[in-house]
Amino acid sequence: MGVEVCWDPAAKQPPAREAAFKSMTAATAGDKDGWLALFAPDAVVEDPVGPSMFDEEGKGHHGRAGLSAFWDKTIGNVEKFEFVIRDSHAAGSEVANVGTITTYLPGGYRVDTDGVFVYRVNEDGLVVSMRAFWETERAMATARQV
């Protein structure tokens, strides 16, 4: 018998899983300030990992200013998010979530992004690293009008 992943924020969760849940909740609510507050001042976000249309050099978005610019370039342009986490593996100060993020974009487009989303937190429960492993071409192949 397996253990179910519980996303109930009232249930006791490992700190990294809790931070991931809060990150998804803030993104869904369009709460930029709340989202930024989840991250340590020197945090790094790689979404996706490596060079992409969001990060040409593939070095990630660093610190509050970098994360704020990342939000404006990506999360802030999404009209609606749907997160489906199929599995979650917490270990130490990290969690790897396996799932699909569906984004609804201006112009009536929908994109499904399958990936593995890894969060690492510090002793205060603030995110110091978020690394999203997903493939741009695969995500863009799902783009469709809704």
* 124 SS3 class: coil
> Residue 59 corresponds to which tokens in the numbers above?
């070095």
The string of pLDDT tens digits covering residues 62-110 is 999 999 999 999 999 999 999 999 999 999 999 999 999 999 999 999 9
Domains and CATH numbers, the chain: 3-145 (3.10.450.50)
Position 12 scores a pLDDT of: 85
pLDDT grade for 35, boundaries at 50, 70 and 90: very high
More confident residue, 62 or 146: 62
Report the C-alpha gap between 133 and 128 in whole angstroms.
Answer: 17
Could you tell me the pLDDT band of residue 1, with boundaries at 50, 70 and 90? very low
E strand map for the chain: 39-46, 61-62, 80-91, 94-105, 109-121, 127-133, 144-145
What does the pLDDT read at residue 5?
54
